[in-house]
Structure 1
Amino acid sequence: MRRPPPERFPLVLRTSLGFAALGVGSSVCGSGVVFLLLTLQGSPRDIDQDWVLAVVSAGYIALALLVGTAWTALLQRRTVVWFVLGRDPTEQEARRALRIPTDMALVSGTLWLIGTVLHGALAGALGSAWDALGVGLTVLLGGLTTVGLTYLIAERVARPVMTLALSVSPPQGRLAVTVLTRLVLTWAMASGVPMLGVLFVATPPSLGDADPTASLIVLAVIGLVLGAFATALLARAVASPLHRLRVALDEVARGRTDVTVPVDDSSEIGMLQTSVNDMVAGLRERERLRDLFGRHVGTEVATHALEYGASLSGDVREVTALFVDVVDSTALAYRMPPEELVAKLNRLFTAVVDAVATQGGLVNKFQGDAALCVFGAPTRLADPATSALLAARAIRDAVRDTGELDLGIGVAAGPVFAGQLGTSSRFEYTVIGDAVNEAARLTESAKKVPGRLLASAAVVEAATPSEQRNWKRGRRVQLRGRKQATVTYAALTRPE
């Protein structure tokens, strides 16, 4: 067998030592309970050869420890292989690994049951039937204590193994282990075993002449110790994962979606851990889709769709449209490689998006080497005209600084339909109206003027006085497809 990966070795060593300590410790604890009960009751009165029973008990404990270790290793041999080698388990191997506490408890219970029969029969052969019953009940109480301790502690020791197994086979459906199971075991160790011990000491058959009052006091102390230990195990097994869940949910409430809770419990708590991870994964996927959605249609449109739903609806808005188009793009595509042209267009559109977003507008769509920007829809603006003119000048200055492309910019204002257009299965947010057509036509004319930027009189006259000073009245032009001529304003090369 190959050696475990270096990063897995400390975990393998710690877990192996934990199981070894569990096997020895639980057996010693159970034997201690038997010894105390026999001491409290006194030696069996009809057995003269006590040493025979003591020697057999010591031999059986040693043999049971070896058999139990080998038996458990045989049941979990596949678990040992994948855990030591550092590979992920198969689903069948994972389900088997989740049975570690149950397998260890069953092995321990079976061996203690055999020990109960063996010691009872030996006590009966050396003494009387009452001695057989008394010794048998004493060993049985010790066995119940050992089984309970084994199960509760095994869950803790096997947690690294179970965490890996639960990542492959998360808890679902009908659970083999529940919080109720742990509560019952805790009650059995804290109250059940001491109560049976009290009944055993206080009622016949009495094995000896021990003082019942002192015996009951000692049993009460044993019950308190066992109860405190079992309760501490249960509290840690429940409180620790719940604390991690609370911390994770606090992080999610703060907006983090990269939180993951380790699933290390096979009970309802494990199902809750899995549910939290599924919920966070859903939130993470939702944020990813929202980000992609926003990148395709714009953050404003994405927010509008999430708030009002997706439907073929819209309304008429007073907006300012800004249209950007590259000069002589056909010749550019002929002269330069496609990837170089795309890189330049991407740098242009970066300047467009930054300038428009700064003024609260929306880049509604990219059309090859052109872009349509809208101010006033879907988000209403207090002064869409001024915002559009500021963005237009910012785009012009940014493109002029790079010197890579020549472009025309047209700005127009008016009522448009703003909303979803298409079919119920596929649609997009768009604006339709004369203002959009006018901005596109002004862009064609802007390509022929020195400043490469034209705005309609309606836009400039609606802007603030400080912005109006950056524009000068131009000539009246007859735009293609429009009956009335448009009074234009051109941006000053240097602001006044």
Structure 2
Amino acid sequence: MSSGRHAHLPGSRRQGLLITALSLAPSQLIGSAFNIWYNLSHIQPLLTPVQHQVFQEAIGVFNLTVYPAAMVFWFWLFFSLRPVASRLLADQPVPPARLMAAQRRVINLPWLSMLVAGIGWLLCIPVFLTVLERTADPLAPQVWIHLPISILISTVIALTHGSFTIDLLSQRLLYPLFFRQAHPAEIPGAYPLTLKNRITFWAVSASICPIASLLLLEFVPNANNMGSFSLLVGLLGMGFSLVSAWMLSQLVVEPVDMLQDAAKRVAQGDLTVQITQPRGDEFGTLIDAFNAMVTELRDKQHLLETFGRHVGEQAARQILQQDPGLGGTEQVLTVMFADLRNFTARCNHSTPQEIVALLNLFLADMVEIVEHQHGGMVNKFLGDGFMALFGVGEPDGDHAARAIASGQAMLGSLEQLNRILAEKNIAPLAIGIGLHTGPAVVGSIGSPQRLEYTAIGSTVNIASRVESLTKTVGYPLLFTAATRVALPADIPLQALPPQPVRGLDQPLPVFSLTQSVRLDRSAPGTAKGNRSGESGA
């Protein structure tokens, strides 16, 4: 899922260039209206009748020559983008150099609007002053101050609001089309409006312009309508402030809200979030970094899930949390070995596909019991069995009791599996489980080119030997005295005769639970007696 707030209809995208080009007109008309009003109210009283007539004629000629030329150039900037836009709308390829040039122009549109409109406005100052100076009547000194300042105020009003409008509409209508695969913040030669630029423009248009207009009135002679004009200037200033603030909020506050919403969704575990609004300013860099962060988190999660399927989820987390390399730490664990009985003989009478399917069916249940129900870690698969660790990373845990409970649950699950196999006329399975508690070195072991996360030590070897004893003792679940000491006192168990174990000088005391089922040694793979395998320890 993507995080964005503006769905662009095909019609608006097709007319995006025209709509954006025309959006410059309202701000220019507002600036012109303010300038004309100011001139009529406060500059005209400073002119003689001859100067006034010349001034009006100069305005007419200027509006018929300079402004049309500026408009033609402005619309040419957009018209030159149409071929690229048409190919993008038709999903046709565009030469990279040509596409980048178009993208650069789209980003620079606010500055280009200020350049085109600014030249048109600022030319008024030398042209009009020159025309007025050449009349026979002497020009009042106040005109040299009021005329340039009035035009400058009108220019700032038109340019700031025009750039805000162009920036806002280009973000809405042009960026989604021209930046489908590119990042606006990475386009060379582009100069987007920054946050500092926007705040400066807003301050100028919302405060400096109206305040400067009011200050000018102090130097206007015969200003008998000072009060009404001051009121209107103040109202216009507030109106400009509200409009500028709204546009600023659309350009600045909105991406902050989008980033906040997306961050909340990521915190809740939704790693499908992607912010699809392209930006060329500082927010573009933030959005790109946020999307890259989410992508990295998603890749890491995928790695953990995929890696966990091979080494176990807990082992994967342990590996990713520690520094890579060789080495391990000594921990007190309960090690479990589980092995299917007479599985080699079964393989001689079944196809490889049948054996793999049966193993997967068996191991799926066992892994679920060990890891998800009792917090163990299936460390490695050993053909028709596996080794599991209980207590990794737990300095003082109940890993021995959980290992016993897991073993009993495994026996109960095997009963259910055998009932399913019996319905399919498949011989039942039998399992031997051996447990031993003690210190072992846990960590990454191997070579710098190939590592294996596992446990080594005499505790592991003894657990493997105890599992082998289930074949001779006849109980499917055996554990040592070290595991017995770590168990709660109320667990019912029975001591079995000490058994000789290869590698130990003395026979090894072993124990079983009183609820365990004694196997019939004469018929391996079958069991007799009543089982209560699903009861926990």
Give TM class, smaller chain: 0.7 to 0.9
Give the direction of change, closer, same or farther, for the CA distance of 1:316–1:111 in structure 2 (3 Å limit): closer
Q: Aligned match of 1:148 in 160, 167, 179?
A: 160
Per-residue CA distance 1:99-153 (angstroms, 9 max, x = gap): 1212222222223334554444555566767488565654443233211111111
Instruction: Select between 422-431 and 178-187 the one with higher mean Cα deviation.
Output: 422-431
| Alpha-carbon shift at residue 158 of structure 1 (Å) | 0.8
* 1:396 partner amino acid: L
* 1:147 partner amino acid: L
Matched ranges for 1:242-321 at <5 A: 242-305=256-319, 309=323, 312-321=327-336
Give the direction of change, closer, same or farther, for the CA distance of 1:199–1:415 in structure 2 (3 Å limit): closer
Report the equivalent of 2:205. 189
* 2:272 partner amino acid: D
CA distance in 1, matches of 2:67, 2:195: 33
Report the equivalent of 1:3. none
Report the equivalent of 1:396. 414
Per-residue CA distance 1:188-218 (angstroms, 9 max, x = gap): 21233334434554437x7x97745544443
| Alpha-carbon shift at residue 276 of structure 1 (Å) | 2.7
| Alpha-carbon shift at residue 361 of structure 1 (Å) | 1.9
Tell me if the contact between 1:60 and 1:115 (Cα under 8 Å) persists in the aligned partners: no
CA distance in 2, matches of 1:267, 1:488: 71
CA distance in 2, matches of 1:345, 1:265: 54
2:143 is the alignment partner of 1:99: no
* 1:363 partner amino acid: V
| Alpha-carbon shift at residue 363 of structure 1 (Å) | 0.8
- Secondary structure class of the residue paired with 1:413: strand
2:185 is the alignment partner of 1:180: no
- Secondary structure class of the residue paired with 1:158: helix
Give the direction of change, closer, same or farther, for the CA distance of 1:226–1:456 in structure 2 (3 Å limit): closer
Tell me if the contact between 1:410 and 1:443 (Cα under 8 Å) persists in the aligned partners: yes
Report the equivalent of 2:175. 162
Tell me if the contact between 2:23 and 2:165 (Cα under 8 Å) persists in the aligned partners: yes
Instruction: Give the gaps of 5 or more residues in structure 1.
Output: 1-5
Structure 1 length-normalised TM: 0.80
Structure 2 length-normalised TM: 0.75
* 1:41 partner amino acid: H
Per-residue CA distance 1:319-365 (angstroms, 9 max, x = gap): 24232246334762784244x54333222211110121212222111
CA distance in 2, matches of 1:217, 1:377: 78
Report the equivalent of 1:367. 382
2:438 is the alignment partner of 1:415: yes
Instruction: Select between 10-19 and 83-92 the one with higher mean Cα deviation.
Output: 83-92
Give the direction of change, closer, same or farther, for the CA distance of 1:388–1:217 in structure 2 (3 Å limit): closer
| Alpha-carbon shift at residue 483 of structure 1 (Å) | 5.7
Q: Aligned match of 1:429 in 449, 453, 469?
A: 453
Instruction: Select between 459-468 and 191-200 the one with higher mean Cα deviation.
Output: 459-468
Tell me if the contact between 2:370 and 2:376 (Cα under 8 Å) persists in the aligned partners: yes
| Alpha-carbon shift at residue 290 of structure 1 (Å) | 3.3
- Secondary structure class of the residue paired with 1:259: coil
Per-residue CA distance 1:142-197 (angstroms, 9 max, x = gap): 23321111111111111132355386134269965321111221122123333443
Per-residue CA distance 1:67-86 (angstroms, 9 max, x = gap): 14423315645664455445
Report the equivalent of 1:356. 370
Report the equivalent of 2:531. 495
Tell me if the contact between 1:94 and 1:168 (Cα under 8 Å) persists in the aligned partners: no
Instruction: Select between 343-352 and 295-304 the one with higher mean Cα deviation.
Output: 295-304
Tell me if the contact between 2:168 and 2:250 (Cα under 8 Å) persists in the aligned partners: no
Give the direction of change, closer, same or farther, for the CA distance of 1:94–1:406 in structure 2 (3 Å limit): farther
Report the equivalent of 2:356. 342
Tell me if the contact between 2:55 and 2:132 (Cα under 8 Å) persists in the aligned partners: no
CA distance in 2, matches of 1:274, 1:316: 43
2:398 is the alignment partner of 1:381: yes
Give the direction of change, closer, same or farther, for the CA distance of 1:94–1:130 in structure 2 (3 Å limit): same
- Secondary structure class of the residue paired with 2:327: coil
Matched ranges for 1:109-120 at <5 A: 109-120=118-129
| Alpha-carbon shift at residue 395 of structure 1 (Å) | 4.4
Tell me if the contact between 1:414 and 1:435 (Cα under 8 Å) persists in the aligned partners: yes
2:30 is the alignment partner of 1:35: no
Report the equivalent of 2:347. 332
CA distance in 1, matches of 2:279, 2:120: 27
CA distance in 1, matches of 2:154, 2:484: 96
Tell me if the contact between 1:416 and 1:435 (Cα under 8 Å) persists in the aligned partners: yes
Give the direction of change, closer, same or farther, for the CA distance of 1:141–1:232 in structure 2 (3 Å limit): same
Q: Percent identity?
A: 19
Q: Aligned match of 1:48 in 53, 58, 64?
A: 53
CA distance in 2, matches of 1:189, 1:428: 67
| Alpha-carbon shift at residue 287 of structure 1 (Å) | 2.9
* 1:491 partner amino acid: V
Instruction: Give the gaps of 5 or more residues in structure 2.
Output: 1-6, 519-527, 533-537
Tell me if the contact between 2:24 and 2:165 (Cα under 8 Å) persists in the aligned partners: no
| Alpha-carbon shift at residue 468 of structure 1 (Å) | 4.4
* 2:111 partner amino acid: T
Give the direction of change, closer, same or farther, for the CA distance of 1:26–1:435 in structure 2 (3 Å limit): same
- Secondary structure class of the residue paired with 1:491: coil
Give the direction of change, closer, same or farther, for the CA distance of 1:14–1:226 in structure 2 (3 Å limit): same
CA distance in 2, matches of 1:314, 1:137: 78
Report the equivalent of 1:22. 23
Report the equivalent of 1:323. 338
